[in-house]
Structure 1
Amino acid sequence: MKKSTQVVLLGVLFLNAIMATAQISTSNGGATNVLANSPSTNTNVGIGTTNPSAKLEVIGTVKATQGIFSKSLTNGSVFINSADRNDKCVVLTAGSIIGTGSGYVNTRMLNFYDFPQSNIDTKATLYLGIEDRNDFGRYRFIAETGGNTQMIILNKSQQDVMKLYEDGNDNVTLTLPKANSFIGIGTTSFTDGTDTYRLSVKGAIRADRVKVYTTWADFVFEKNYKLPTLEEVEKHIAEKGHLKDIPSAKEVETKGIELGEMNKLLLQKVEELTLYIIEMNKEIQQMKTQIKNQ
């Protein structure tokens, strides 16, 4: 019998079952297994059940050209290995068939699993995965019953490029492990002149603490440091309108400031002021001594 004729006969059989509000028994097979529902007041259609609870209820697996649907298994199940578990616990799979070389039978490009607690999984787990045509994982969503939640995006080599992880106790971690990762909030630009930034935000940033690693200005206290004279400082202010080494207001408005670098510059000026005060204090003490000895 040709495949097309089989499909037509199957369709007719299924329509007759719906019209008769009957269920299809899977015990022996054949048209004689189209039976009435029990109770007879049940108008739903069932396959593998005499008392379907929905318009169409299937107990077992439904396999089509482009997908497989099945019921979930109960906790305490035992599997031979992870491949056996995956094949038996797939709830929805669709797309091209892949992974046959890895021992899987029912694996396609999109797979939704309902893993019960078993000899392989200590906790019942919901698992959604998307593979490419090379059978490389590109997306994972994993949720343990009473446990952690994960969402992972992978690259063509199945390496994590983004991972959102919650440990089951509301401790959440977002990681972008690749060196060339960038985050933009309100913007898609990550460059400013010749500088490139990993985090780019258009708008305000609010935080309790910001820690910056940078060089520091203790070189001011080194013996070979040339401290400008106060006359030189006065002249620079008169000519430039700002302290030496400190950017002007116009520069800050157009280019912004680096927090770490700016703090170092401000510390440099504080340390220079400290040296001026120390020198002035010495001069004052000398003057007091001279006045006292007159």
Structure 2
Amino acid sequence: MKNIIVLTLFILSVTNTMAQIIETPANSILAVKSGITIPDTSSYRINGSSILKTKNTSNVILGFNAANTIITGQNNVFLGSNSNGTTSAISNSVAVGVNAKVAINNAIVLGDTANTNIKVGIGTAAPRYPLDVKGVVNMRIGLNSPSLKINDREFLALDADGSFLLSDFRIKYNHEREWSDKVFESNYQLMPIGEVMNFARVHKRLPNVPSAKEVVEKGVEMNTIIAKLLEKVEELTIYTANQAEEISLLKGKLAALEDKSNKK
């Protein structure tokens, strides 16, 4: 049996916009082939609630009661029930999701800002965080361009050569043993200075410090290397203090010898 197509032409508005409504044997109960014009401030409604409407200049609005506050705002996109602007003059902004609210111009808001459980996924169907990205994230940050911020505080940028610039950071240690105060404990085994010098002559580095080759091949952990460098500074302090005591003793002995020699 051949498909039967019923074509109906009718007027949607006083602007004489024509539409073709085509009954088809496919899955659609009703298909519209041609353009449809919705006059400004008009909308499509289901059970009295707007689901698709136009408003003012170049606003795209889809969702029950979306963009109800917008009066003079232009060039916006509102997708989702009750997606809206917080003022009537929001422009060049996007609010996506149920109850999504955008408060400033030139902004994009995803999800209900009052819902702390909102999660946005890129490359994943089960996001676990407010922004969960599966894959490579490429951030284009250059010299004198905006840097990354946490709570409005700048903390990371890139210079012209691609090196990271950290404005401020703090390293956290989990236990006192990870720090270097152990050097001043009475039971600390300080290597004799002669052995240290022999080790340095052979290996071209200090004991328990990674070699240049290891650093290039494996890198270093900041927590570990900072504590290790402090350990060497504290050991050097002890060596220096010990030398000062020895020098003081030698000076005393020398003075005694000189005094004895002068009395002869």
TM-score range, shorter chain: 0.5 to 0.7
Match of 1:288 among 239, 247, 251: 251
Task: Classify 1:159/1:231 alpha carbon distance in 2 versus 1 (closer, same or farther; 3 Å).
Answer: same
Match of 1:266 among 229, 241, 259: 229
Match in the other structure for 1:70: 53
Q: How far did 1:241 drift?
A: 2.3
Matched residue type, 1:289: G
1:155-197 CA distance string (max 9 Å, x none): xxx933459xxxxxxxxxxxx857x98895559xxxxxxxxxx
Q: Which runs of 5+ in 1 are unaligned?
A: 18-22, 25-43, 48-54, 74-85, 92-109, 117-121, 131-136, 164-175, 188-200
1:251 aligns with 2:214: yes
1:13 aligns with 2:49: no
**1:48-197 equivalence runs, <5 A:** 56-58=37-39, 59-62=41-44, 68-71=51-54, 87-89=64-66, 111=80, 115=84, 123-124=87-88, 128-130=95-97, 142-145=101-104, 150-152=109-111, 159-161=117-119, 177=129, 185=137
Match in the other structure for 1:231: 194
- The answer on whether the counterparts of 1:62 and 1:70 sit within 8 Å (CA) in structure 2 is yes
Aligned partner of residue 254 in structure 1, secondary structure? helix
Cα distance between partner residues in 1 of 2:37 and 2:213 = 73
Matched residue type, 1:8: L
1:275 aligns with 2:238: yes
Greater strand percent: which structure? Answer: 1
TM-score, structure 1 as length reference: 0.48
Task: Classify 1:239/1:283 alpha carbon distance in 2 versus 1 (closer, same or farther; 3 Å).
Answer: same
Q: How far did 1:205 drift?
A: 1.3
Match of 1:204 among 163, 184, 189: 163
Cα distance between partner residues in 1 of 2:45 and 2:181 = 74
- The answer on whether the counterparts of 1:112 and 1:128 sit within 8 Å (CA) in structure 2 is no
Cα distance between partner residues in 1 of 2:134 and 2:227 = 27
- The answer on whether the counterparts of 2:196 and 2:207 sit within 8 Å (CA) in structure 1 is yes
Task: Classify 1:111/1:161 alpha carbon distance in 2 versus 1 (closer, same or farther; 3 Å).
Answer: closer
Cα distance between partner residues in 1 of 2:204 and 2:104 = 66
Aligned partner of residue 89 in structure 1, secondary structure? coil
Cα distance between partner residues in 1 of 2:82 and 2:17 = 23
Cα distance between partner residues in 1 of 2:220 and 2:134 = 21
Greater helix percent: which structure? Answer: 1
Matched residue type, 2:44: V
Percent identity between the aligned chains?
Answer: 21
Aligned partner of residue 44 in structure 2, secondary structure? strand
Matched residue type, 2:217: T
1:18-45 CA distance string (max 9 Å, x none): xxxxx44xxxxxxxxxxxxxxxxxxx44
Task: Classify 1:112/1:264 alpha carbon distance in 2 versus 1 (closer, same or farther; 3 Å).
Answer: same
Cα distance between partner residues in 1 of 2:188 and 2:108 = 57
Runs of 4+ in 1 over 6 A off after TM superposition: 146-149, 180-183
Q: Which runs of 5+ in 2 are unaligned?
A: 19-35, 57-62, 69-78, 122-127, 140-157, 258-264
TM-score, structure 2 as length reference: 0.52
Match in the other structure for 1:242: 205
User: Once superposed, what is the RMSD of the aligned Cα atoms?
Assistant: 4.6
Match in the other structure for 1:106: none
Task: Classify 1:256/1:57 alpha carbon distance in 2 versus 1 (closer, same or farther; 3 Å).
Answer: same
Q: How far did 1:8 drift?
A: 3.3
Q: How far did 1:61 drift?
A: 2.0
